[in-house]
Amino acid sequence: MKTIANCYDLMQAQQIKGVLDAAGIPAFIPDESVAGIAPHHFLTDSGVRVQVADEHETEAKEIINTPDQPE
């Protein structure tokens, strides 16, 4: 697994996971349980991690780093 994002809070991590899931890339939030119970533990540089399988790392980073396109 590769960490592709370190989020400020659980909600941001869940949004990124949702975007990746919609693009067909399974994503995982290994800190989800703790972030829900004790969010203050993630107010550091580490943040709430979003991870994907190694083979999806490049594509996932491209997806989350692409600015929203106007419709």
Per-residue pLDDT of the chain (71 residues; tens, 9 = 90+): 999 999 888 899 999 999 999 999 999 999 877 766 666 665 566 788 999 999 999 999 999 988 764 44
Q: Is the pTM of this model over 0.85?
A: no
Residue 31: per-residue pLDDT:
83
49 touches 3 (CB < 8 A): yes
70 domain-assigned: no
Domain count of the chain?
1
Residue 41: per-residue pLDDT:
61
CA 2/CA 50 separation, integer angstroms? 8
Residue 69: per-residue pLDDT:
47
27 domain-assigned: yes
CA 62/CA 50 separation, integer angstroms? 14
60 domain-assigned: yes
21 domain-assigned: yes
- The CATH number of residue 28's host domain is 3.30.70
Which range marks the domain in which residue 9 is found?
2-65
